[in-house]
Structure 1
Amino acid sequence: MYRVLHRNLCTLIQPTAEAATTAAATTAAADATVTNFKSISQDIFKEQNFKRLVDKFKKASDVDSFRTKNSFYGAIVRRLAVAKCFNYVEDILEHQKQYSDISKEGFNARLITLYGKSGMHRNARKVFDEMPERNCTRTVFSFNALLAAYLHSSKFESVHRLFNKLPKELSIEPDLVSYNTVLKALCENDSFDSALSLFSEMDKKELKPDLITFNTMLDQLYSKGRFEEGEKIWNQMDVKGVEPDIRSYNSRLVGLALEKRTNEAADFLVEMEKKGVKSDIFSINALIKGFVNEDNLEEAKKWYGEIAKSSYDPDKTTFATFVPFLCEKGELKLAIEVCKEFFNIQCRVDASLLQLVVDKLVSESLISEAKEIVEHAKTNRYSRYKLNLPADE
């Protein structure tokens, strides 16, 4: 009986032990892969010489798992593009075409997207056009990547032209993402009538606009002074059953402020918060800008004061709007306090803004205060500003 029980117990334990060994090996391999990628990525990130960086990146691309790291690809390409090293962007991305992944639509769409975000729309189009040569089917997925590439490259008219042309040629049915991309391009190009027409066309295609659709339209219409059209789109949100978010509300706040209806905008902000949508710095900036435009110093000061009660800090736009207004109104004491707040939170602003304050203080014979601003600017931790102070002062 003992031998039978022992044999049965061993039979039960053995597979479990084997499974545990296999699992441990799999985990170890996964950990090694993660560690290896971390080591490789850190080496590439730390590389300051772009030629060596590109060579290391291309070598790392030989590893299958490395080619799945979309965010890492994006970070490196963005770094090269910001440095205007477009030849190196092309070197990295063209190198990817040698791998078997290039037969997959997703991989092609990634290359198209990376080229687009680098402003290299012609290269993006070339990748798209070459897909049939690789036996890779082009669907609305890669088509949308192409539209976005032209959008990121600021080729707004081309986005609309491709939208009208390619679906018929390639038997592709545009989807909501396609429409949202074209709407964005039309709005960026100030082609608002065409955007509104396309928005209406979505109903005929039985495409329900989403929050991205509405926010794109609201942001552009309200900010460009097309308030009445913006209001029509705003009302459509309720009809279509789309709940506005903070970005939607901020767009309308901007629209009301531009219409010099800032008191109404302030009431609207209160209404917004009662609905559970918390205001942010963009909300307050809209009100400050509105009251500055209406020459209402007290209300502008009041809403700047609201920032101190909130969980967020003023930003570059806050200072650029508020500080010149304070100088214009002779509120130099408050202007100095606001500048000190700017230094405290280490916010980057244009040096001309600080120079304006210094010049105004000097013109009012507040020399020691002007020197204080200049010294703060010199020793600011992240952005040291060189400001001019009259030599004879």
Structure 2
Amino acid sequence: MWRDAAQCRRVSMLFISTSSFSSSSSKPSSVRNYYLRKRRKCPLQPFKQQWLQSFSHQLAMRSFKESIKNGETRILFSLVQSFSTYQIEPSPKAYRFLFKFLTQKHRLFGHQIPQILDHIEKVASFETPECVIIDLIEFYGENNMLTEAVELFFRIPKFRCEPSVEALNALLSVICREKRGLEIVPQILLKTQAMNIRIEESSYRILIRALCKIGSVSQALELSKYMVDDGFIADKKICSLMLATMCEQMDNDICEVLGFLEDLKMLGFELRMVDFSNLIRVLVRRGKGIDALGVLKQMKTNRIRPDIMCYNLILYGLIVERDFLRVDKVFDELLLKGLIPDIHTYNLFINCLCMQNKIEDGIKMLGSMGELGCAPKLSTYITVLKALCEAGDLDRVREMMKGMRKKGVNLDSESYEIMIHGLIRNADMTEACCLLNEMLDDNYVLPPASLDRIICRLIKMGLFFNATELLNAVGFKGC
């Protein structure tokens, strides 16, 4: 008994082959020879032919690579010769490798590319893959050869290749890198109609990005309208890019920006957080902090949660307008929403307190920043030190500077200058000179105008020795 059918089949086949061998051996020799000759005349099976061609191709490519490695300069001749040795024609894959080699060594062999293209057009018989053409178009673009890239694109049908939108996009990406290339885009698009290439959404995106790059936002908007008319959906990233470009242009009035935003909404564009942030930024830049606060409210109405950057922009705009009551409300709101203030938030709010002469409140907040997970930086201390200097409270200034040194916070050139001018303003020239010497020891130098002001002040106060000593110190530092 056999356990499975597979084993039975193997045994039966074994018996069949044995019986056939025994039966054939029993036949006359003439019959057996005829049978063998007939079997020998059978052609190779298709998979064997493919394997043989593939093996020949590998050998030819190996021979070609060795020839160029040995310094062969006639690249096309070497390719054809290597393949003809094995009685086959160079394949598209071989030509793609050839073009990659030429583009990598374009300073030595780049001049041979036109010759090889002519050979493919007039001698070769295969259908050239479009990827080969795209690689060459990108190579021409990287080397600022726009004319060659355009000519190669329109030459695609001569290579027995059906051009598609991928080749068009490769050409548009190349020519849109420069303004002079944008000027020939209309001509190219008109000629592509005769090549049966339909502009797709990806093509529109390339053109709109190029127009935004040179600041032609109005033309980008018109092109977006054509894109929608062709049945495509307005891309969110593209609309955001157009809005951001519009906001960055300083010559645009805020009314123009808002009108542009309405045009984008007509295309089905819905604002995201980055778009609201750009609007808030441009309003703050125009000194319209209250209008920026209105955009923040609209952002919350659209159920978009503002981040700390948005609140920092609002705080800055309101502080510039000296609307301190709204500053307090906005700061309380961001805390209630669970946002964590960063160093910019604290700097802004402490500056707001100092502008209201609430220096003590600012000092208290500065002291509690570390407990709240945001250690104060030099910029935070400078805000409070400047306020204390303006208030004439030099004792608190000295106390704060000692605390800064204990915490490892060192003064920079700007902070030294603020401190020295504050001391001079309060007629404490001795302390100002000591701090100036310390500044020179730290390899910082005051601007020439500030040095002149200090030296003149010392001379007016009759402190000629101090003025001379300061001049010598400054000269010793090579200033």
Q: Shared fold (TM-score greater than 0.5)? A: yes
Contact 1:280 / 1:312 at 8 angstroms: preserved in 2? yes
Contact 1:105 / 1:138 at 8 angstroms: preserved in 2? no
How far has the Cα of 1:354 moved from its partner? 2.1
Alignment partners' CA distance in 1, 2:327 and 2:297:
14
Alignment partners' CA distance in 2, 1:163 and 1:315:
44
Which amino acid in the other structure matches residue 216 of structure 1?
Answer: L
Q: 1:188 to 1:92 in 2, by over 3 A?
A: same
Paired position in structure 2 for 1:369: 466
Contact 2:287 / 2:320 at 8 angstroms: preserved in 1? no
Residue aligned with 1:282, SS = helix
Q: Which range moves more in the overlay, 232-241 or 154-163?
A: 154-163
Paired position in structure 2 for 1:295: 392
Contact 2:234 / 2:268 at 8 angstroms: preserved in 1? no
How far has the Cα of 1:371 moved from its partner? 3.7
Alignment partners' CA distance in 2, 1:348 and 1:170:
56
Paired position in structure 2 for 1:360: 457
Q: 1:168 to 1:108 in 2, by over 3 A?
A: closer
Q: 1:191 to 1:380 in 2, by over 3 A?
A: farther
Q: 1:274 to 1:287 in 2, by over 3 A?
A: same
Contact 2:246 / 2:257 at 8 angstroms: preserved in 1? no
Instruction: Report the structure number with the largest CA radius of gyration.
Output: 2
Whether 1:343 and 2:440 are equivalent positions in the alignment is yes
Which amino acid in the other structure matches residue 334 of structure 2?
Answer: M
1:69-148 paired onto structure 2 within 5 Å: 93-94=178-179, 103=203, 105=205, 109=209, 112=212, 122-123=215-216, 126=219, 139-148=235-244
Alignment partners' CA distance in 2, 1:243 and 1:333:
43
Q: 1:234 to 1:368 in 2, by over 3 A?
A: same
How far has the Cα of 1:142 moved from its partner? 3.1
Give a deviation string over 1:11-39, Cα, whole Å, max 9, x none. xxxxxxxxxxxxxxxxxxxxxxxxx9xxx
Alignment partners' CA distance in 1, 2:260 and 2:350:
32
Q: 1:153 to 1:167 in 2, by over 3 A?
A: closer
How far has the Cα of 1:263 moved from its partner? 0.7
Alignment partners' CA distance in 2, 1:103 and 1:132:
14
Whether 1:272 and 2:369 are equivalent positions in the alignment is yes
Give a deviation string over 1:196-233, Cα, whole Å, max 9, x none. 22211122111111111111112332354222111111
User: TM-score normalised to the size of structure 1?
Assistant: 0.63
Which amino acid in the other structure matches residue 308 of structure 1?
Answer: R
Contact 1:124 / 1:146 at 8 angstroms: preserved in 2? yes
Which amino acid in the other structure matches residue 344 of structure 2?
Answer: R
Q: 1:194 aligns with which of 291, 296, 317?
A: 291
Off by >6 Å, runs of 4+ in structure 1:
131-137
Paired position in structure 2 for 1:182: 279
Whether 1:213 and 2:310 are equivalent positions in the alignment is yes
How far has the Cα of 1:372 moved from its partner? 4.3
Q: 1:240 to 1:314 in 2, by over 3 A?
A: same
Q: 1:223 to 1:194 in 2, by over 3 A?
A: closer
Q: 1:276 to 1:193 in 2, by over 3 A?
A: closer
Whether 1:166 and 2:263 are equivalent positions in the alignment is yes
Give a deviation string over 1:115-149, Cα, whole Å, max 9, x none. 5xxxxxx4455556556789997533233333433
Alignment partners' CA distance in 2, 1:331 and 1:111:
59
Residue aligned with 2:369, SS = helix
Alignment partners' CA distance in 1, 2:323 and 2:353:
11
Paired position in structure 2 for 1:254: 351
Which amino acid in the other structure matches residue 179 of structure 2?
Answer: E
Contact 2:362 / 2:384 at 8 angstroms: preserved in 1? yes
Alignment partners' CA distance in 1, 2:237 and 2:269:
10
Residue aligned with 2:244, SS = helix
Q: 1:303 to 1:313 in 2, by over 3 A?
A: same
Give a deviation string over 1:346-373, Cα, whole Å, max 9, x none. 5575432222211111222333432444
Percent of residue pairs identical: 15
How far has the Cα of 1:176 moved from its partner? 0.9
Paired position in structure 2 for 1:80: none
Alignment partners' CA distance in 2, 1:346 and 1:96:
51
Alignment partners' CA distance in 1, 2:276 and 2:310:
8
Q: 1:157 to 1:304 in 2, by over 3 A?
A: farther
Which amino acid in the other structure matches residue 331 of structure 1?
Answer: D
Q: 1:207 to 1:343 in 2, by over 3 A?
A: same
Contact 1:256 / 1:264 at 8 angstroms: preserved in 2? yes
User: TM-score normalised to the size of structure 2?
Assistant: 0.52
Alignment partners' CA distance in 1, 2:362 and 2:427:
27
Query: Structure 2: any 5+ residue segments left out of the alignment?
Result: 1-103, 105-140, 147-175, 186-198
How far has the Cα of 1:377 moved from its partner? 4.7
Q: Which range moves more in the overlay, 143-152 or 174-183?
A: 143-152
Count the aligned residue pairs.
295
Which amino acid in the other structure matches residue 392 of structure 2?
Answer: D
Q: 1:356 to 1:60 in 2, by over 3 A?
A: farther
